[in-house]
Structure 1
């Protein structure tokens, strides 16, 4: 696989996450709760991963060295749970801004793990990402007075856990292929979500009432595709750069809301999306200019 394809896989995986909030809103409009939709996402995602594993692999997967996969599964379940709780206490626009703090948190994780300082290109990129996130989420017009501390706590917890999920995906497991990693990660996530959300959907008949449709969509775009793509791309790209590239989730979330929910896109939001996309490609451009200047000096 060509080197430029690994960042693209991370971008596509993050874009899959971007449509989830819109699908969950559609499920709520159909009479289901956010907790039921999230639970159906993880259960259906595990079922799809199990089917893929059974058709492509033989035998029971080995658990040797799978601790990073266990962590990734736990962190993705925690992210879905605490982000859903944050939306209950604050406007969705503000919850999105808090979630997207994972960009600098992921960079912090990567710097601590590698014992290095942030690169100049990474700092410039984060400035663009933060400014674009505030504009794209419509935070300037939002009223944040009276928001309880629980909302802030759950929002930042979602950011820290998603950044940890990206970092956990950074470490490959020797001898474990991507399909096995997908199966185990979705299995661990399904177990974890059982303690946080609504496992009763399995026996209360909600799946038969149409929840399975949303579960199938959420399972594909919230579990199978992003975990598969992140498992391939993140180890090659690195945790810090993957956090920056994952910021594409916000523009995708806004565009999905506009197309499927009929929400209006303001000029401020459009400017914010442009800044977010600029912040994503800046490190690559600055690195290319630096290499070009180095070659000219040589």
Structure 2
């Protein structure tokens, strides 16, 4: 049992009130607490994770939060440290964001697109994202599947994303990782894997992973063109999107979806393959819808 009061004394906090624990089924320890009516968030990560990873995590919050003010701030200890090691965990304290999570609505997707564009304008960050942009590992996957030949053919068409625009990326850019403050400002949360990486992978994540709605019971699928359009409108606003840029976003979408195809276990592989194929079929339909907006293409 972790003595949270003892841990938080490293920040000089006295008379701490522990409020809630989040993700209790996780090995990570995440608690909200308050001191003198100020709410904060304590995050503890098992020390099997290397210290370099923790440095990257807190650095991302320092950069996007304390410096750019579009993520929760890191709270420092009295001697200026941004994290500590105690009881087998790395701990750091962040600002608790008062507000609401973004939702899968047109309005919120538009706001998410705008904040994504702002984040992607930052190129001077010192840490690389932990996202592996190399497709080579995927060629070893699914050797027992009937779709293996088609799968490899799809991989062959994916570019080397490291040769295209590199910037600060989140790696899991969806409404579930964004909050709207009480004043209406949108910020990003959960920066654990963020850093410098491929812009097109970051934008592309949602175009299959999120925008394809899949009914597990009926296996029916639906594409949320409204959300995809809203995100792109927020991201590009009145800027023109070239067909080449659009193609790169979709190649990023395919890469990101494939990267998750083994995450949910062997029984999820075939449904995820079907989702991939269905999602790819929506690319030209969405493009045709974008063309109809003359100020957008």
TM-score, scaled to structure 1: 0.27
Higher relative contact order (CA 8 A, sep 6+): 1
Give 1 or 2: higher strand fraction: 2
TM-score, scaled to structure 2: 0.27
Question: Considering only CA atoms, is the larger Rg found in Structure 1 or Structure 2?
Answer: 2
Give 1 or 2: higher helix fraction: 1
